[in-house]
């Protein structure tokens, strides 16, 4: 099969991180299913992997963890052939560590990460654990479903980690794929959404989706926020969000990698029982709950398809924020 492969031992130039290769088609092991990949969303985490912001876990890996595919074989009782299914970042847990036993599988001590510790969806086929596969709601188009499987689910979890309640004032700092999906959830909860983001395109996108207020990275929302979620991988953005919170408010950091957090004034910004929380991965229940919400709200995110041969160009679009929607690879 054809696949886009990242070789962590090579010194490929930026923009040429992946090589398109013929590799053996995966053989599903007991407990796995084989998917024919229809679409695979491109996530900023994929960029962190190929740029080595995240330490390589394998010398060679097929990235991609927002996989939509058709079940070809395996697990016939629960996922019969022909089932349209989705796979996300968490591709498996040990089920036995303290965190798994306390309903916190997103913090598992021995997790499997799709497209990072095991091969992912920048390929024609993918073998994945059957118990981490989500059948997709009927009528959901595969191309538009792909960004929902990480950008959507992790954004949804970020709202939960931030403790968002119906009717609150919520700030979104950065407005890429994940934030553009989170705003839809917030609107369904009758929240007022305030967006701070660089780039005129993203500000226009936020305004078009009904944000109550939109500003650039040097501005501050006109009201004190109850909650804020940061999507940009920059420590300064966290401090900016913190400066806009009411007392008792929460900032949730939606980032797997963050540059250095600048020093800030505790008395002025954090005191008053304000909180900073990190968002780490997601659970299967997060995915199930979000996909149920997707079904009810009729989500259809804007996407930009790229053929597998142009996987590097898709990553560049994410890096440079040039795509008019979520980048999706179509093998």
39 vs 147: CA distance, rounded Å: 10
Residue 77 has pLDDT above 70, yes or no: no
Residue-averaged pLDDT of the chain: 93
- The pLDDT score that the predictor gives to residue 76 is 64
Those residues with Cβ within 8 angstroms of residue 55's Cβ, 6 or more apart along the chain or in another chain: none
| Total-model pTM | 0.90
- The pLDDT score that the predictor gives to residue 300 is 81
253 and 128 together in one domain: no
Is residue 35 left, alpha or beta, with left meaning phi > 0 and alpha meaning psi from -120 to 50? beta
79 and 212 together in one domain: no
Span 218-246, mean pLDDT? 95
Phi/psi at 226 (nearest 5 deg)? -80, -40
62 and 83 together in one domain: yes
Burial class, 62, CB count within 10 angstroms (exposed 0-12 / middle 13-18 / buried 19+): buried
261 vs 253: CA distance, rounded Å: 12
- CATH number where 33 lies: 3.90.180.10
Of 253, 278, 303, the residue at which a domain comes to its end is: 278
Tokens of 331: 């093998």
Residue 75 has pLDDT above 70, yes or no: no
Structural contact between residues 195 and 179, judged by C-beta atoms closer than 8 angstroms:
yes
Residue 202 has pLDDT above 90, yes or no: no
Q: Alpha helices, DSSP H only, in 77-222?
A: 98-101, 142-145, 151-162, 177-188, 200-208
85 and 117 together in one domain: yes
111 and 26 together in one domain: yes
Quick one: pLDDT band at residue 245, thresholds 50, 70, 90? very high
Output the DSSP codes for 93-133.
--S-SHHHHTT-GGG-SS-EEBTTTB--SSBSEEEEEGGGE
63 and 177 together in one domain: no
263 and 288 together in one domain: no
CB atoms within 10 A of CB 292: 11
Phi/psi at 127 (nearest 5 deg)? -100, 130
Quick one: pLDDT band at residue 261, thresholds 50, 70, 90? confident
Span 324-328, mean pLDDT? 87
Those residues with Cβ within 8 angstroms of residue 235's Cβ, 6 or more apart along the chain or in another chain: 258, 259, 260, 261, 262
Span 197-218, mean pLDDT? 92
Of 243, 259, 278, the residue at which a domain comes to its end is: 278
DSSP character at residue 266:
I
Crossing angle of helices 151-162/177-188, nearest 10°?
50
Phi/psi at 302 (nearest 5 deg)? -70, 135
Structurally, how many domains does the chain consist of? 2
253 and 311 together in one domain: no
- Percent with pLDDT over 90 in the chain: 76
pLDDT digits (tens, 9 = 90+) for 22-72: 999 999 999 999 999 999 999 999 999 999 999 999 999 999 999 999 999
Those residues with Cβ within 8 angstroms of residue 130's Cβ, 6 or more apart along the chain or in another chain: 31, 32, 33, 74, 75, 78, 79
120 and 161 together in one domain: no
List, edge to edge, every strand of the sheet that includes 2-7: 18-22, 2-7, 60-61
pLDDT digits (tens, 9 = 90+) for 267-304: 888 999 999 999 999 999 999 999 989 888 877 888 99
197 and 307 together in one domain: no
Helix, strand or coil for residue 168? coil
Span 167-193, mean pLDDT? 95
Helix, strand or coil for residue 144? helix
Tell me which H or E stretch contains 21.
strand 18-22
Residue 201 has pLDDT above 70, yes or no: yes
Structural contact between residues 162 and 261, judged by C-beta atoms closer than 8 angstroms:
no
- CATH number where 259 lies: 3.40.50.720
Which residue has 């890996």 as its token pair?
61
Domain around 266: 153-278
71 and 217 together in one domain: no
64 and 85 together in one domain: yes
């Amino acid at each position: 099969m054809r696949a886009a492969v990242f070789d962590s031992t090579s010194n490929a130039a930026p923009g040429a991180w992946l090589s398109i290769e013929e590799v053996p088609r995966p053989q599903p092991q007991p407990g796995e299913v084989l998917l024919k990949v229809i679409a695979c969303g491109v996530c900023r985490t994929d960029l962190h992997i190929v740029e080595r912001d995240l330490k390589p876990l394998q010398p060679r890996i097929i990235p991609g963890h927002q996989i939509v595919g058709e079940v070809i074989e395996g697990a016939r009782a629960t996922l019969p052939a022909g089932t349209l299914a989705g796979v996300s970042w968490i591709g498996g847990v040990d089920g036995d560590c303290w965190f798994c036993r306390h309903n916190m599988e997103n913090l598992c001590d021995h997790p499997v990460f799709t497209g990072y510790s095991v091969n992912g969806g920048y390929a024609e086929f993918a073998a994945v654990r059957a118990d981490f596969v989500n059948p997709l709601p009927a009528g959901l188009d595969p191309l538009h479903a792909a960004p929902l499987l990480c950008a959507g689910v992790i954004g949804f979890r970020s709202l939960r980690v931030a403790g968002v309640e119906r009717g609150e004032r919520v700030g979104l700092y950065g407005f890429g794929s994940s934030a553009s999906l989170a705003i839809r959830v917030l609107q369904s909860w009758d929240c007022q959404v305030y967006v701070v983001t660089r780039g005129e395109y993203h500000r226009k996108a936020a305004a078009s989706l009904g944000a109550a207020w939109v500003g650039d990275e040097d501005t501050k929302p006109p009201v004190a926020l109850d909650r804020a979620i940061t999507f940009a991988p920059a420590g300064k953005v966290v401090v900016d969000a913190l400066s806009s919170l009411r007392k008792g408010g929460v900032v949730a950091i939606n980032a797997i990698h963050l540059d250095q957090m600048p020093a800030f004034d505790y008395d002025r910004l954090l005191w008053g029982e304000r909180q900073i929380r990190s968002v780490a991965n997601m659970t299967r229940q997060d995915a199930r709950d979000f996909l149920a919400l997707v079904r009810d709200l009729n989500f259809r995110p804007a996407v930009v398809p790229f053929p597998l041969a142009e996987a590097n160009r898709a990553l560049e679009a994410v890096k440079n924020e040039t795509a008019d929607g979520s980048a999706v690879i179509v093998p």
